[in-house]
Amino acid sequence: MFRWIFVTLLLSASAVVAVWVLVPHVNSLSATQPAPAGEAPEKKKPAAAPHEKALPPLPRQTAASMATHSQPAVYIHHREGSQNLAEPVLIPDCPLVIVERQEVASEKEGVLLFIGTEVLMGETVPPEKQLPEAKLGFLAVLVGDKPIEGEECVQIPNDPRYYRRARATDSFEPEKVFLLTKRQPVRKLQVGDHVKRGQLLAQVNPAKSSDDVSVKIAKLNAVEFARQSAHSMKMEYGRRYENYRATNRSQPGAIPTDTLMETHLQYVKADSEESVKKAEIVEAQRTLNAAWTDLRMHEIRAAIDGVIKEIYKNHQGDAVKPYEAILRIENPGRLRAEGRLPIEEALKLAEGMTAFIEASRPEAPRLVLSGHLGTVNCVAVSKGKRPIIVSGSDDKTLRGWDSATGDLLWTVWPLPSSVRAVACTPPTSKYNLACFGCADGTVRLIDLDHPEQQKLREMSERHTRSVLGVAFRPDGEVIATCGDDSLIRLWKTETGDLLRVVPGHAGPVTSVQFASAKRLVSAGKDGRLIVWDVEDVNRTHQIAPRFDGRTGQVWTLGVSPDGKTVLFDQGKEIRLLTLENKDLVGTLRNPSDEMNFSTMALFSPDGKTILTNRSGSAPEKLQLWRTPMTQTRRGSELRQFIWQGAVTCGAFAPEDSSFAVTGTEDHKVLVWTMPSKEEIDSRLEARLTLVEKYIDTRNRDVRVWAELEAPEWLIPGMRATMVVLPPRK
């Protein structure tokens, strides 16, 4: 009996499984069966809202593309020009320290005549920085009756010959070297002054050493005169000796032998005297060289390029001891990034490898525009050579500002509700308009070329709730708006007529962006990012692929200027995904795990940078990033825009990306200067100089250092991320 019960249960289960498998196929077949002849298929039209027009239904292919059981497709990902590289080794939070520094000391004891440097030709020195003229002694070497081409030659009064400055390799010849004095205007040096290697910094009183050099020159000349005298005597005794020998050969015994020998002895003595004087000349040359070196030691010069960081003595009159420091120079052009790395990562590295330094520069706003009395909810920038900044606020006003001076140009007031979203026509449009949406759902247009007319054009209908986003199509002929009512509306710019209402999101839609004339991208609080085909406005529909899984903290997400890439927020990351097939192009990520992205993520119009806001311990910090493109071009932070207030919105100058604009909760509109093209495109290349071979037992990590030639904007003391791309083994 139990056997029959078991068989019955097994057959019943099999029947249920068979029905479950076949029902979807039966439903799909019945859905595709044509309607019987003479019968029209049943159509159900949704009830339209009282203030909305009846709109054509979505096309059949839209429903198919949105079907849950759609057939999966295989996408082939082409990686053009990919590089066979290992994952980069990242060393965050590396302090940048100065490598080259000099404690400039006096090598001589004495009194400081000045702490200053020569005044360059054409340089204007203010009276408070002028010092008495310096007397700088130098040795001049005779070059002849004509100057040497390419040499800086001088002349001595009452001497037609030319002289040049002595070099360290010169051997001073007697009667061809002179001590000259040059009177040089001097300006005071101060902390912060830039100096170069070899530049004069100070002078200790050189009077005694100068006299000593003069004595050594006189001694050198005197020894030369004695040598010449000995040489003349040698030649004379040599002549006499040869004459005496000739006489004895013709008249034997005419010259006594003693006279002959005495003459020869005098010749040998004079020859020896000349040899002694030659040796004394060499000694005098060395002595003169030492005296000249001692004289030069009274002139204190820089050994490195750098900036004066501290001056320890008064500019005039202070006494100094040998090797006592006078001032300190540091070279900010040579920096070292110092990081620590776990041993397992450090084993991938070796000294001499190339590293890249990613440093972020803090910056204050160029202009602070004050005038709003409430939170600034939206900003936009018009086209043109002198763009207008447009801002909307909770104070129910829309304002226009001069982007160059910050002057307030016009105000739209009073509006029935706060302004929540605004956009300006793109540079490719024939119009110069601003479209703004308000909390009451109204959408209006203002002509930026003639704002004084104060003639606003309101769209034919409105959203049922607050407007959250506005965007113009690249040609400016169509406007897209979105809002709290979960709908997207498309409008005709010229007439203000509503073209279409587009449902699709399951919650408020926070931003809309045109990727091209044919594609519209929307982001909503439902965690979805949707790409719409708007080539035919009346047949607007979603297109694959679906972008689900957003965190939703970033309300406004940008699309790249070429329309190929979209920004996608996922917690602590902003991802760059291709619209075509969701390929991951790059990632933006903060080094600190405590910080999430929020509010906005926007491409600059040139596509080279991305502006983001972050929440966490420092919500007031805006971040400007290099746009990641390849594995070797990571998304790295370029700027931290610092303001003591929460940021609510942002925009860029549309034509040249020369500045960015943000609005804040403390009623301000801020204008930020963008970095130069050279800074954005350049990569700070460094060389690993230290990879320790032993482990710090406390932290289980090792020190890693990299040195680099730093540009002027890179400031010692900043923090940076060191990136090393080890080759794949």
How far apart CA 202 and CA 189 sit, in angstroms, is: 9
Residues 81 and 490: their CA atoms lie apart, in Å, by 40
Percentages of the chain per state (helix, strand, coil), in multiples of 5: 20, 40, 40
Residue 551 · residue 565 · CB < 8 Å? no
Residue 712 is predicted with a pLDDT of 84
Beta pairing class for 457-458 and 443-447:
antiparallel
Q: Terminal CA-to-CA distance of the chain, rounded, Å?
A: 70
- Secondary structure (DSSP) of 414-428: --SS-EEEEEE--TT
Q: Which residues in the chain are classed under CATH 2.40.30.170?
A: 86-99+323-366+675-729
Looking at domain 372-666, its CATH architecture is: 7 Propeller (2.130)
pLDDT of residue 15: 60
Which part of the chain has CATH 2.130.10.10? 372-666
User: For residues 634 and 627, what is the distance between their CA atoms, to the nearest angstrom?
Assistant: 7
- Block residue for tokens 């926007």: 602
- Cα 74 off chain centre by: 41
Residue 492, pLDDT score: 96
486 closest CA partner among 538, 522, 432 = 522
Cα–Cα dist 622/641, whole Å:
5
DSSP 604: -
Residues 6+ away with beta carbon under 8 Å from 1: none
Which residues, at least 6 apart from 724, have a Cβ–Cβ distance to it below 8 Å? 88, 89, 91, 348, 349, 353, 354, 355, 356, 688
Token pair of 411 as six digits:
């105000």
468 in Cβ contact with 600 (< 8 Å)? no
Residue 697, pLDDT score: 67
Confirm if 244 and 256 have CB atoms less than 8 A apart: no
DSSP string, 345-392: HHTT--TT-EEEEEE-EEE--SEEEE--SS-EEEEEE--SSS-EEEEE
- pLDDT of 6: 55
User: Which pLDDT does position 652 carry in this prediction?
Assistant: 97
Say how many C-beta atoms besides its own lie within 10 A of residue 474's C-beta.
Answer: 16
Instruction: Give the separation between CA 724 and CA 728, rounded to whole angstroms.
Output: 12
In degrees, rounded to 5, the angle at the alpha carbon of residue 427 between the alpha carbons of residues 426 and 432 is 70
pLDDT for res 50: 39
Could you identify the residue written with the tokens 């990242």? 90
Q: Is 132 helix (H, G, I), strand (E, B) or coil?
A: strand
Q: What pLDDT sits at residue 698?
A: 74
The distance from CA 69 to its chain's CA centroid, rounded to whole angstroms, is 49
Please list the ranges in the chain whose pLDDT falls under 50.
Answer: 19-69, 81-84
The three-state (H, E, C) secondary structure of 161-230, written as one string: CEEEECCCCCCCCCCCEEEEEEEEEEEECCCCCEECCCCEEEEECCHHHHHHHHHHHHHHHHHHHHHHHH
86-99+323-366+675-729: CATH superfamily: Efflux pump adaptor protein, beta barrel domain (2.40.30.170)
